[in-house]
Structure 1
């Protein structure tokens, strides 16, 4: 079963081992809360879990960095192959959107 975080975000499939670790840790906490686990075993389990979470965090950070770089590369590649009239239309739309944002900001600033 996939583990999902507080926002409902599921870990990617290649994080199955980490998802199992998180589930195991939850069971450990529940067992300790119910008093059915020796405190030393619980302490050892928490130390193991802490190490696994550090590993998971760095793995997720690396994947996020890679995803962002890939996305940026795809964006740049598409811009390089974009026809001139499409680029001009896109730039005009961006300028209009920025002007609307600036106008709203100035309006809010003046009306406060």
Structure 2
């Protein structure tokens, strides 16, 4: 009985967590760039060379791009899992319909 309750709670919470994860993508991009600028500022103060600030900016932008790539690959993976379900296999049905239409057109000629 306790296992059944845990199974019922998990699906309710999971979509909320996934939605929060998707919303946090924009925030994580901003935070990554700001952290990179902070690293660059620290490097500039430690070395006294101005261009080290740009190293930090580059690190922050690279981290933001990595966050976007990770989010994209996660969404693409879930899309692939969804596409495998027969309920959503419309691509194959459309190809079958196109083949039928071609045969129909050839028979009338």
Shorter-chain TM range is 0.3 to 0.5
TM-score normalised by length of structure 2:
0.42
Q: Report which of the two has the higher share of helix.
A: 2
